[in-house]
Amino acid sequence: MTRLWISASMMGALLLAACGDSEPRPSQPSVNGAETPAPPPEQALASAGWSLIASGEGVALRLEGDNDLIAAVACMRDPAALRAETDRFQPIMSEDRFTVGVGGEAYALAADLQADRAKGVEASGDTPADLLDRLAAGGEIAFNYGAQNLGPFPAISPADRDAFVAGCREAVD
């Protein structure tokens, strides 16, 4: 029994040593230094605003900032589908569930792991009628993909929200 205890203690010490950091860590930049740290994601979201885009292909809401697509939700025609995309998520080849949250309810879409994108993830699926009802009621939008979360996003202007919901209902019918 003593031998087992010693072996377990030695294994624990070896594991802790193996997990330790032997490389020196670079010092954090000074607050007064010349480098300005990137704003936290919450600040980028707070300063961004939604844009409504309508075309023969459908209607979309896009939230852009810092030279990338923070979020987009679109109702596509021919075939009718709900599409969501963001440049902020990293693709996970073993994960195809992309969730759009609206007004506290989660709606699952299928991530397109073969999409021709420079960065980010896009997903699509059927457009649930209650998603549009929740959005029309002013529900907040958020995204989830694997362990990655984004949102809730800034509020959509009532005029853009109403036009988007009307365009989506037209695309679905």
Q: Assess whether pLDDT exceeds 80 at residue 164.
A: yes
87, 44 contact by CB (below 8 A): no
- Residue range 99-150, pLDDT digits in tens: 999 999 999 999 998 888 889 999 999 999 899 999 999 999 999 999 999 9
Would you say the pTM of this structure is higher than 0.75? no
Between CA 29 and CA 96 the distance in angstroms is 38
DSSP 74: E
The per-residue pLDDT for range 58-113, each reduced to its tens digit, is: 999 999 987 889 999 999 998 999 999 999 999 999 999 999 999 999 999 999 98
Q: Is the pLDDT of residue 11 over 90?
A: no
Instruction: Check whether the bond before 152 is cis (ω within 30° of 0).
Output: yes
Residue 47 pLDDT: 59
For residue 92, give the nearest of 123, 58, 53 by alpha carbon.
123
Q: Which domains does the chain have, with CATH numbers?
A: 41-172 (2.60.40)
Are residues 64 and 110 in contact, defined by beta-carbon separation less than 8 angstroms? Answer: no
